[in-house]
Chain A
Amino acid sequence: MNTIFSILFAVLTQEGPAETTGYMILGYSVIFSVLGIYLLSIYIRNRNLNQDANTLMEIEEQEAEDE
C-alpha cells in the first residue's frame, strides 16, 4: 500500500517539461523566414540580371547595326 501511495505521490508531484512552445514557434518562424527571404533574393537577383543581360545585348546589337 505504501508503495502505491509513494508512486501516486511521485506521479502527482512530478514536474513536467517547461512550457516553451512560444520560443519553439519563434525559433522556427525565424528559420523559415530567413530561408524564404534568401530564396526570394536569389529569384529577384536572377530576374534582374536576366533583364540587364537582355538590355545589354539589345544595345550591343544596336551598336553593331549602326556600324
Chain B
Amino acid sequence: MKQAKPIALTVLDLVTLALMIAATAMVFLYAPLEAVMGQVQRVFYFHVSAAWVGMLGFGAAAVAGIAYLRTGNMQWDVRGMAAVEISLVFFFIAIVSGSIWARPAWNTWWTWDPRLTTAVIVELIYAAYLMLRQGIEEPERRARFGAVYTLLGFISVPVTFISIRLLDTIHPVVIGGSGGEGGFAMTPRMLQTMFFSLFTFSVLFVDLYWHRVRLGTLARQVEQLRLKLAQ
C-alpha cells in the first residue's frame, strides 16, 4: 500500500527549499531597513505571504467542496481537507506574526480591530470544521458535511479581506491603499521582496498540499481496509 514518491514531488520539494532560502535571504539581506519601525518590519514579508496562502487554501477548499457535491468523488473531500489544514497553519502564522509586529508598532499585542477580529473568526470557523468532521463516522456523510461547511465558511474569507478597505481600522492596507497605523511607503526593493515572498509561499503551499493529499489518500485507504476487516 505504500505509495512511491513521485520524482516531480521530490523536485518540487527541492525547488521549494531553494525558494525559501532565497526569500529569507531577500528579507534579511536585500530588503532595506524600514526608517521608522526598524527590523520588526521584516516580519511583514512572511506575515502577508502567510495570510495570502491561508486565504488561497480556504478558497481551494471551497472549490473542492463544489467539486465533491457535483461529482461525489471522495478524492475531492481529501483535497478539501488538505487545503483547510494547511491554510489553518498559515493563517495561524499570519495572526501570531501580526501580533508580534503590532507590539512595537501599535504598542499592544492585540486589539479587537475589525481585521484582527475577522481573521480570528476565520481561524475558529475552520478549526471547528476539523473538530466537527471527526465526530462523523460515516465517510460519505462526513464528506458531504465538509463540502457544505467549506462553502459556507468561505464567506468569512472575503469579509476579512475587505474589512480593512470598508471599515474603520488601524490595520495598514498593503496593496492599493494607505492609512492605518504602522503603514509605510514601500521602496522598489521592499516590493520585490514582498512579491518574491508571495510567490515562494504559493509554491510552498502547492508542495505541502501535494504531501497532505497523499497523506489523506493513504488515510482513506487505511480506513477502507479497517472497515473491510471489521465486516
- List residues of chain A with CB under 8 Å of any chain B CB: 16-21, 23-24, 26-28, 30-31, 34-35, 38-39, 42, 45-46, 49-50, 52-54, 56-57, 59-60, 63
Beyond A23-B101, A53-B221, whether A59 also contacts B40 by CB under 8 A is no
A23–B103 CA distance with the chains assembled, in angstroms: 8
Q: How far is the CB of B28 from chain A (nearest CB, A)?
A: 9
Other contacts beyond A20-B41, A23-B43: 15, CB < 8 A: A17-B37, A19-B38, A20-B37, A23-B39, A23-B101, A23-B103, A24-B39, A27-B40, A27-B46, A38-B208, A45-B215, A50-B1, A54-B2, A56-B226, A60-B229
Q: Which of B89-97, B138-146, B159-167 contacts A (4 or more CB under 8 A)?
A: B89-97
Q: Give the contact-size bracket for chain B.
A: 35 or more
In the complex, are the beta carbons of B104 and A20 less than 8 A apart?
Answer: yes
15 of the cross-chain contacts (CB-CB < 8 Å) are A17-B39, A18-B104, A21-B39, A23-B103, A34-B93, A38-B89, A39-B208, A42-B208, A42-B212, A49-B219, A53-B218, A54-B1, A56-B229, A59-B229, A60-B225
B222 at the interface (CB under 8 A from A): yes
Contact of B101 among A27, A45, A52 (CB under 8 A): A27
The residue of chain B having its C-beta at the shortest distance from the C-beta of A57 within the complex is B1
B170 at the interface (CB under 8 A from A): no
A18–B33 CA distance with the chains assembled, in angstroms: 11
